[in-house]
Amino acid sequence: MSLLGPIVDDTNLLDDQRQELEGRISQLNEDIAEHNESRERELPLVQDVEAKVKELHQTIAGLNNHQVSLKASIRKMKDKAKEMDEKEPPSRLPLLSEKRDSAFLARKRDGNAILKRKNRAPKEDGSLPEQIGHKSTTPKPNRTKSSLVGVKSRQIENQSELRRAVEDRRSRSVKERSCDEKIPRVSTDMTNRRLKRPDHAMHYRSQHVEISSAQFALVQSVQENASLRSKIVQSPDKLQRALEEKKLIRIEAKNAERAAMQSIQEKTAVHEVYTKACKKLSKNLAQMQAIQEQVNSAKSIEKDVKVLKVKESDEGMLDKSLEAKLVERQGKVEQLGEVRKQLEKERDLRYEEATKEFNIVKSEVEARRHDLKLRQTKVEAVVAEGDAIIAKINSVKESGAAQRQELKSGIIQFLAYSKQ
């Protein structure tokens, strides 16, 4: 048994080492399988990232080319804007006004014809636009920026004069209308007085609707003719003065209108030039903003590409490190496999030797056990004989003790009898 103890301990240690090595091998196999699975999972992601990187490179190249072309177009637009700024804006006014000269000349002819007709038969009841006539225009002269200030001041003065003339004309027309309205009022009063009579009430009511319109028209025409004749007969000098004043007012209004039209045309031309320039500048600004947005997007894409490249490099380093670890672990696995084979061989040899020794010891133990059994049987027989002898001795002792007691009792009886 003392020889079997170390052998059993060695076998137990070898079994423990074998189990530990098998656990390590299983862990390494699981790690290798997980690494392969993760690699297979990450392969489409890596391919997608590579495709995206290629697309981003292509888009960056296209955006760079587009940026270069836009920069060239911006330079051209800036040069054109500088050329437009260097040129004087009044020099463009005749070009802008040439398109409208035909319409202006037609209006001028119509206005001159109307003025000739009104000079032949002037009337005080006409409104201010009829006295002034249609707008007469002339081709726009070339003016500098300093002359525009004078034009503005003249325009303000002409507007004030026009307002005064309009107010005078309105006051005169109000007075004339009040004089014209007096006659129909008198006629209506007369008719009302006649209608109050009971004899003629029905007659005037029936004929009032038919006569009223014609009566008013006739009364107005008679009154106008009478007023005109009285003015012509009584004060021809006043009429002449009024006509001259009206002519002067009309001439001043025409001049003011011409100056105002010229200033308005100049301002409209300048405004059109400025609006066109503003539109072009707004378009250029929108293009610049779009370019800036594209540049910003390209920069963000470049940053994303750099981040993806860094991630890709990190993943490549991780792949390399994992591959190195995998190679190391594969080498360790191979070494452990060789060690396991050697240990298995040694274990088998030791197991064979131990089995041989165990069989020898087992045979010896069985022989000894057989001898011990024989001895045990002999000892049992001897013990049985001793037990039988002891039983005989005990029976003899018991029989001697009984005889001894009988003798004692006999002696006691004898002594008692002898005493008696």
Number of other CB atoms surrounding residue 286 within 10 Å: 10
Domain segments of the chain as ranges: 100-275
Going residue by residue through the chain, which has 420 residues, state the pLDDT in tens, using 9 for 90 and above: 565 566 667 677 777 777 787 787 788 888 778 877 877 887 887 787 778 778 877 877 777 787 777 778 778 877 777 777 776 444 444 444 444 445 445 555 555 555 455 445 444 444 333 443 433 334 444 434 444 445 455 556 655 665 665 566 566 555 555 544 544 444 444 444 444 444 444 444 555 555 566 666 666 666 766 666 665 544 566 667 777 787 788 888 788 878 878 877 887 787 787 778 778 777 878 887 888 888 787 788 888 888 888 888 888 888 888 888 888 888 888 888 888 888 888 888 888 888 888 888 888 888 888 888 888 888 888 888 888 888 888 888 888 888 888 888 888 888 887 776
Residues in contact with 39: Cβ distance below 8 Å, sequence separation at least 6, in sequence order: 319
Q: Confirm whether pTM is higher than 0.75.
A: no
Backbone angles phi, psi at 235, to 5 degrees: -135, 80
Give the C-alpha separation, 376 to 362, whole Å: 20
- Dihedral class, residue 133 (left if φ above 0, else alpha if ψ from -120 to 50, else beta): left
DSSP per-residue string spanning 210-263: HHHHHHHHHHHHHHHHHHHHHHHHH-HHHHHHHHHHHHHHHHHHHHHHHHHHHH
